[in-house]
Structure 1
């Protein structure tokens, strides 16, 4: 039997989250994901990444010890009416900047000197602590890219539909940090609009922009999000540039129309996009 994640109070009165598994009760693919998560998280340290405090493998039992985050994930905040009310403008801005800082660290600043592509960035994998500080979690699908490479090809598409960049779909998925940038852009638009993504339908297929044009700062963040979801990955900013734009220290790139998959699900009306980029 697989035990659900639980919180435990250690003798030092430090609350942690435990994930416990038996080798014979979970698929081999899950065990491989666990091994990858341990190897990735162990050398990483950043305030916007969930901390892996320790792990133990003994007699077919796996125990992973994480810091305990008690304020639910961002997905629950976006979907629950009462929690959504707590996401005022300043809180949303801090959350967006926290996610951007965490991704910049993964792509450029991690201790192992390699570029880490999260590959499954979504609202449910962004945890919030009691001060709404972002903790990016779940690295089971992540890929490591050598510092001298900008992308790698694959035969397998991983991630969550709605957040997956167009270039990750068959027949020849291409993995690069720009795939995370696309997911970040979708997530940014989710946070700003409080729409939630569901499979291929979501923030990129709704004429929502007119609801979000009241303040210049809101529009600026929206435009940053749109720059991240451009169909051509080469036109998307990198996370260093995104962080600079969020701080108001860099200009927006020229925008092209967002990327979708599959093509037939693209919205027919492009009036909202034309209105924004004028």
Structure 2
């Protein structure tokens, strides 16, 4: 993977550059990702390349990374996509300062962005196609300057045509992140939309806790990482023990800040749906439509609380 800046002219408003020499035109610069697939040793790399190319060429959604260009020449296989200016959620989880900037409202919106993208892939693509990403983890969430999320990296995605059963037999010999893999899929090889739901649920808990699922703090309690720990805490009613300390402090009774902290109803809705997402079996998990609905409901509670707080503050100032 490489980063570079591309200079280009204002193609969004071509009428403004007609008759003007290119040497007099100012260029716009955008940083892009250049993803180079290794020279072909076997068929795997070529298959990964064309899978991701097919996906990016056929999807169009504001929460999915945009394809800028590609190259197929000799043994070279290259994809060029937009770069998210704030890096990935995975990198942010390893940066205390970055996580400190993420209020509960921002964290909810990142989850909602991801849910919109997966709901689109699962239910809203053109020609009644359906796609399973199959590799969701925090490093697949690119974040822009406003902390809006876009899903990326589709080389392991699976298309299902309209007439096919809602699952695919897809056995893998390796996983980029074992802590995000649907346990039923890993056991049976049956890849379903609910497999994405499971992985997304793990990401939700990572956003809540401010740490990656395989962090040593969780592995000391369970070899399965964050998912197993969060399930236990949810069952015991002690989920607050694993919440990001920064968020927990701002949500506490004594130091509660509704602008940075979490509204309790919002937090409860989030926890409930996240716990359903990481259920052991596929048939126990909600659809992405349900997850998206619940996350938006949680955001309504949070925003309403913030608005109420601001009204009170303004009222006190005016009085």
TM-score for the superposition, normalised by structure 2:
0.71
Q: Deviations over 1:31-79 (max 9, x none)?
A: 3211110011101011111111221212332332211211110011111
* Bigger mean CA offset, 58-67 vs 97-106: 58-67
Distance 1:19 1:26, change over 3 A: farther
1:145 to 132, 155, 160: 160
Question: Once structures 1 and 2 are overlaid, which stretch shifts more, 14-23 or 41-50?
Answer: 14-23
Task: Pick which of 121-130 and 155-164 moved more.
Answer: 155-164
- Where does residue 244 of structure 1 map in the other structure? 293
Question: Any unmatched runs of 5+ in structure 1?
Answer: 250-278
Which is greater in Rg?
A: 2
1:197 equivalent in structure 2: 213
Q: 1:225 aligns with which of 270, 274, 292?
A: 274
| Distance in 2 between residues matched to 1:157 and 1:16, nearest whole Å | 34
Whether 1:99 aligns to 2:114 is yes
Partners of 2:36 and 2:112 in 1: CA distance: 34
- SS of the residue 2:77 aligns to: strand
d(CA) in 2 for partners of 1:244 and 1:101? 10
State the partner residue of 2:2: 5
- CA deviations 1:179-208 (Å, max 9, x no partner) are 000011111111112132117312432546
- Other structure's SS at 1:15 match: strand
2:129 to 114, 130, 135: 114
More displaced, 104-113 or 218-227? 104-113
Cα–Cα, structure 1 residues 63 and 92, in superposed 2: closer, same or farther, change >3 Å? same
Is residue 209 from structure 1 mapped to residue 239 from structure 2 by the alignment?
A: yes
* Preserved contact between residue 181 and residue 198 of structure 2 (Cα < 8 Å): yes
The answer on 1:186 being equivalent to 2:202 is: yes
Question: CA separation of 1:18/1:28 partners in 2, compared to 1, >3 Å: closer, same or farther?
Answer: farther
Asked if the contact 2:266–2:297 (Cα under 8 Å) also holds between the matched residues in 1, the reply is no
The 5-angstrom pairing of residues 72-87 of structure 1 reads 72-87=87-102
CA-based RMSD: 2.2
User: Aligned residue for 1:268?
Assistant: none
| SS of residue matched to 2:128 | coil
CA separation of 1:39/1:217 partners in 2, compared to 1, >3 Å: closer, same or farther?
same
For residue 245 of structure 1, report the CA deviation from its aligned partner.
1.7
List aligned pairs for 1:166-177, cutoff 5 A.
166-170=183-187, 172-177=188-193
In structure 1, what is the Cα distance between the partners aligned to 2:193 and 2:225?
23
- Offset at residue 124 of structure 1 (A): 0.8
- Compare the two structures and name the one with the higher helix fraction: 2
| 20 and 94 in structure 1: CA distance in 2 versus 1, 3 angstrom threshold | closer
What pairs with 1:5-44 in structure 2 (closer than 5 Å)? 5-12=2-9, 13-19=28-34, 21=36, 24=39, 28-44=43-59
**For residues 123 and 23 of structure 1, what CA distance do their matches in structure 2 show?**
24
TM-score scaled by length of structure 1? 0.81
Aligned length: 245
1:262 is aligned to none
CA deviation after TM superposition for structure 1 residue 238, in Å: 0.6
